[in-house]
Every structure is written in structure tokens, then in C-alpha cells.
Structure 1
């Protein structure tokens, strides 16, 4: 998720750990609290009724993840004179470490903790230690709190956790500024080429049996679009030698629950799906979330078939962005990840940040390992030749696996 007003003035120590109290001015007056079980989810939902939060911190997301993927969820809360926050955390095991993170893992991007209060309120200087103590009291088995892929600001409001930033996330987030409407967006992004290609695609789609853009409006439609998406993504990941993060049945059930419940609950759902049907078959699917100012593309894929060369995914993005402009949305956000199809549209690039809070010696070791991994990723992805080589090796490995 990208905010055009996001501050990049984050605070880091040379060893990658948070600067204690960086950017904070308020005296330490409040202690963090930690709730567990169903009481935690109930209290969190009540807090969010009057709070600002990013889509992956929405009660609908957190509760659906707890129902389908991991019921081991706690909520850390803190209240100061000028504002308060609540942070849902799922507890997972990674190797020998037990980690508390935002529910959803790698599916949760553009994170922003639920917060109330004044726009610029700051956490107490002792918040980091207070949060660690609150978690240790109820869950002494946790080694590390790892809050990844956070935005520095959301809807023009600063992220209170930005002063605790440990390091920059390795992948950029890309978005399109929709100011001026769709024609203005096209003029800033190779309008002549895009319009010409769009007309050519329409002719090809008509010749293939006609096309239809679909928006899911009930559970049956969300289930159908998601099933098509899972099949598309599995093929695409396998072709490129990438682990399928949607392969787990519980993750698939989570997204069915999330998007299905959203379209049933609201006339203007905060999570919704689009599909492009050509010749009676789904060829492209996108899943998005909605904020007051942004449409965020959480995921998307295309069918690897005889029409893949016509770029049905690009066609669907063209129509999705046009619709967002017509609806008065300020930004179309492609979320985390640097891909060519995103660069064809995007004029905003930001970096997310991660917060790491060790709860003991094992947690400090986990931070060191995480830093080394992130540094390697940044180094490879910042080198165009190295990144192309990694992708080529993935595809080659995938091809060998198929032949065995």
C-alpha cells in the first residue's frame, strides 16, 4: 500500500535495531496490555469501530484468518493522552523460533496498526519495552515480534510504529496517482500505446468468442473467481519455480471467507474480485481491497493458455484503473513487488519498513538471521543482471522438476 504523503524519515541504528524513543517526545506514562483468545478478537473489533487501519488489520481480515488459518491470535493495545493503538498478532513457528506477526504473514502488505486519536500522536519512549513485557506475561514462549511491510503513513496519517522502524523492507510498493481522471493517467503513462493495444485486444477477444468483465457480488461468484485464480497462480508459480503461497487449503479457505463475507455484508465491499472472461472462460482475475482513497490490488493472475499472449491481465488492469478513476478514487495501488506490468502504469514508489522486537536471546539471533536475508534480497534485486539470473535459474529448476 502506498500513501503519497508517506514520510521516509525513519529511524535506524547501525545494527538494524530500533532507536529507543526515536522521534518520541511524550513522557513514558502508559503500559501496553495484551489480550488472548476470543476476548481479544471481540475487543479488537470494538476498538476498530472508531479507528483507522489498513485492510490487513481490518477485523474482517483478522477474524477470517483466525477462523481458517491460525486461531493463536493475541492483541496488544496501548493508550496515551493523545491517542491509542491496537495490534493484532498471530503466533507462528519459523524453524526453532516462535514469532508474533501481523495475521496473514506474506499475504498482509501495506500494514498499518489500528489507531485512534490525534493525527500526529506519538508513542511513549518506553512503548517497545512495555509491549515486550506485556507479551512475555501472557506468552513467554514468543521469541520475536516481527511487524513487516508497514507503511509510514495511511490516509495521510502517520504510523505510530514508524519511530520503532528497524530496517527497510526489501521490496518496493508501486502505485498510480489517479489525479485528473483516466485520460490524465493515460497521458502520464504512454497513452497512445495503451489505447492502441486496448483496441487491438478487444478485436482479438471478440474473435475468440467475445469477452465480459465480471465483478463478484455473492459467495458463489467469489468462489468461482477464486478457484480460477488458484489454478492460474499454481501454473504460473510452477512455471517460474516459485513456491505457491496460495497452495495451502487453509489459505484458500481464508480468502473465500474474506471476499465472500465482504460482498454479502456491504453494497460497497472493502474486499472484492474482478474477472475477465473471454470465449466463456476466465482468463484473468484480480483481488482488491478498498480504502477511503485507494483501490489496492492484493493479488492477480492470468491463465497460461492460447490467449495469454494477448495480455488479458493488462486489459483487466486498464478497466480496473478506469473504474477507480470514475469512482473518484485517488490512487490505484499495486502493493508490494516490482514487476514490469506495474511499471507500465505506476508513478509512485515507496518503501515499507519492518519493526523487530526481540523478547530474549533467541529473538536477537532471529533478528540477525532476518537482517542477513533481507540484505541479500536487496542486493540481488537492486542488481538487474543478478535478479534476471535468479529468475532464469528458478525457471530452469522448475523445468527439470517437471521432467523428473
Structure 2
């Protein structure tokens, strides 16, 4: 093994610290970076692979880093000199422990890291254990490393980092495969019931003056739709006595930045869709809004909301999903992903359920306690979510304990 100069704790806004190359048997090298920019070209090349999540894309991560300004520990791995993976990690300081986790982990539906075919082809549990040990030895400023919300199997492949010892995440993700035609896509579900629901909602909104399905184009319209989502979501969560995960000012800044990031029709960090009333007493009102991400043939629902008023009787959220799936069905999308979290409307639309796992790697002696706490907490959350009565009670307690909007929150 060869060791160069030890890396120093990174500082946002300063010149990059010297990277640290760590070479292991098998000619696998680990290099740590404290900035995104030096890796941009390689990063964008890796993110083009359909198997790598949009949540590890350069634009998504840059928007989060700009909003949160946390120290970075970006892991670059090479095999025989060829780029094998990039793990974009940020340092999050909690009340008891400091952890390195995926950038933007709190608002990510699926994490894969950025993995090249060379690692996918060569990965074995022993190789991944050696790579994990190398990362653990070189990471700076963290008690433990948490690689959360990684699917065990993703689109026909076993993810290399999911081969490490793990616990099942308390939440699963739900997807609808998109077929060659919308008729075939609906045929996977109860197509007759789906068309009936669409027809009922369509007629009710037409009776209120008509509507249109809108994709935000201008910067002003994007901002309008996203701000409306924040408003609708806050009202809806307050109505049910649930905590608002979008109340943080930095999270809102991140989403606005992601919405305005450079993109095209086949690869965008965030795009806003809405139903807008076109006539009658409710002209201009927006009864439903959703934010989607797309990378290649994979579309993910990041969030959605509905407003209040007479249009809610038309199930505008269901109607919007119907129209969005139909639209992307004609645009070479193969997977419409409703994201993480078990909800009745997701199960009504989805035929696939993806198990996700969390990998925890202790770095310091204190990190062993942190890892035990994380794994125990995950198992406890799983148990609570499997009991609806206990889950409802815990949600009420969380809401009562929620403080006014914080600029930053770290979950220990």
C-alpha cells in the first residue's frame, strides 16, 4: 500500500486541499476531493449511465451544495487507472456524531453513487469490503459513513455498494414500468378503473370551466409553481397534523436552484407540472402541482400537492399523474418512479416495489456507536411504520416537537 500526504479538513469557499491517493491491492486507488469542480468532466461522463441516479448527477448535487454549504468529501475510485466510481459525500454535523452521507440525502428518492461498468463487472463482496475499508481510512472529518437509500437490485443489476453489510431501509420505493404505448402501460393496472377515474375527474373539471396540463417554461412560471407547491403542501400537512419537510429555507433554495439548472427534455434535475383552470369562476387557479426529475428513460416524482376548493372533488392529483404518465409514455421513458415512501396512491399506480438498504461504515471509535444507533433507529422505524396506530401517534409527537423553520437540520 502507498500513502501520500494526509488530507486536511475541507473548507467551503477556499482553494481545494491536496487530494489524497490511496492505492490498494488489485491496483484499486482511492482519491478524496473537497470540491466538485475538479471532477466535473468525469462526473458528467458517469452520470450519463442510466443505472446511476439523478440524485448523484452534477447539477442536482451542485444545487444542494450551493444551498447548504457543507464540507465535502467526494470519493473517486479507480481500477487499473480507469475511473470506477464517484461517491459524492457531504459532512453533516449532528448533536452527537458527525457523518459523511450522500449529498442531499434527506431529499433523495434513490441513491446509487456514480458507478462505471468496470466496477459493476468486477464487484464482489470481498472487493467492495476492501474498497469500503480504503474509503473509511481516508475520509476526513466524520465519525461514520452512511450510504442510505440504495436499492439492492436496480434495473437488472446488483449495485456494488449494496453488497456491503446493510440493514433494510424502513421505506421502499414504487415504480410503474412504461411500455411501448399508453394502452399497454395501463394494461398492467386495472385499466378500466383507471380510465373511469380519469373520466370522472375530467368531467368535473370541465364542468368548473375547463383545465389544461401545463409544464412550466419561463423562470417566472417555474418559480410560481414551486412556491405554490410549498404553500399547498404546508397547508395540507398542517391539516393532517404532520411535520413539513419542505419548511427549511435552504431546502427551498436548493429546489429553486435545481429547477433553474441547465437541462434538456431527456435530462433535467427538476421540472414543474400543473393542472390549471382555463375558464369559469376558477380561471387561473391551480388545483394540483408536481415536480419531476428525468435522467434518460427514468422519471422520478420528487413531490406533488393539491389545493383546496371545489376542484379537489375531481381528484386533480390523480388526473395530473394520468396526464404526466401519458405524456412521458410518448417520450421514450421506460420507468415512471413514484419515489420512496408507502402511500395508497402509489400502490394504485405501481406494479414494482424496490427494497432499499442503508450501509453504515464506522470511521472512529465514536463512529461504532453512531453506526449502532443508525442501524437500531432504522429497525425501530421499520417496526413503527408496520403499525399504523403507533406510526400516527409518533407523527403527532413529531409535529408538536417541531420548531420554527430552521436553516439547517441534522438527524442524529
TM-score range, shorter chain: 0.7 to 0.9
Cα separation, 1, equivalents of 2:245 and 2:401: 21
Deviation at 1:209?
2.3
- 1:22 is matched with none
- 2:350 is matched with 346
Cα separation, 2, equivalents of 1:85 and 1:146: 17
Q: Is the 8 A contact 1:173 1:351 kept in 2?
A: yes
- 1:305 is matched with 309
Distance 1:43 1:117, change over 3 A: farther
Q: Residues 207-286 of structure 1: matches in 2 within 5 Å?
A: 207-262=207-262, 265-270=263-268, 271-278=270-277, 279=282, 280-286=284-290
Q: Is the 8 A contact 1:240 1:394 kept in 2?
A: no
2:321 alignment partner, one of 296, 317, 320: 317
1:332 alignment partner, one of 326, 330, 336: 336
Q: Residues 363-378 of structure 1: matches in 2 within 5 Å?
A: 363-378=367-382
Q: Is the 8 A contact 1:274 1:287 kept in 2?
A: yes
TM-score (norm 2): 0.82
Structure 1 unpaired stretches of 5+: 1-25
- 1:117 is matched with 117
Is 2:70 the partner of 1:74? Answer: no
Cα separation, 2, equivalents of 1:58 and 1:374: 26
Deviation at 1:155?
5.2
Distance 1:121 1:399, change over 3 A: closer
Q: CA RMSD in A?
A: 2.4
Distance 1:166 1:28, change over 3 A: farther
- 1:34 is matched with 32
Equivalent residue pairs, number: 364
Which has the higher relative contact order, 1 or 2, with Cα contacts under 8 A spaced 6 or more apart? 1
Deviations along 1:65-97, one digit per CA (max 9) or x if unpaired, are 111123422211111137511111111122211
- 2:41 is matched with 46
Deviations along 1:83-129, one digit per CA (max 9) or x if unpaired, are 51111111112221111111112201211111223342324542111
Q: Is the 8 A contact 2:306 2:317 kept in 1?
A: yes
Distance 1:352 1:339, change over 3 A: same
- 1:23 is matched with none
SS, match of residue 170 in structure 2 = strand
Cα separation, 1, equivalents of 2:190 and 2:392: 27
Cα separation, 2, equivalents of 1:363 and 1:393: 27
Cα separation, 2, equivalents of 1:209 and 1:172: 39
Cα separation, 2, equivalents of 1:376 and 1:42: 39
Q: Is the 8 A contact 2:112 2:159 kept in 1?
A: yes
- 1:361 is matched with 365
- 1:380 is matched with 384
SS, match of residue 242 in structure 2 = coil
Structure 2 unpaired stretches of 5+: 1-23, 403-412
Q: Is the 8 A contact 2:128 2:160 kept in 1?
A: no
Distance 1:76 1:57, change over 3 A: same
Q: Is the 8 A contact 2:111 2:150 kept in 1?
A: yes
Deviations along 1:192-233, one digit per CA (max 9) or x if unpaired, are 222122112112112222211110123212111100100111
Q: Is the 8 A contact 2:28 2:78 kept in 1?
A: yes
Deviations along 1:295-341, one digit per CA (max 9) or x if unpaired, are 11111111133322321111101111111211121111111011000
Cα separation, 1, equivalents of 2:174 and 2:398: 29
SS, match of residue 282 in structure 1 = coil
TM-score (norm 1): 0.84
Cα separation, 2, equivalents of 1:365 and 1:390: 26
Q: Residues 59-208 of structure 1: matches in 2 within 5 Å?
A: 59-81=58-80, 84-118=84-118, 119-122=120-123, 123=127, 125-135=129-139, 139=140, 141-154=141-154, 156-208=156-208
Cα separation, 2, equivalents of 1:71 and 1:397: 26
Q: Is the 8 A contact 2:151 2:159 kept in 1?
A: yes
Distance 1:395 1:201, change over 3 A: farther
Distance 1:277 1:388, change over 3 A: farther
Cα separation, 2, equivalents of 1:67 and 1:396: 32
Deviation at 1:343?
0.8
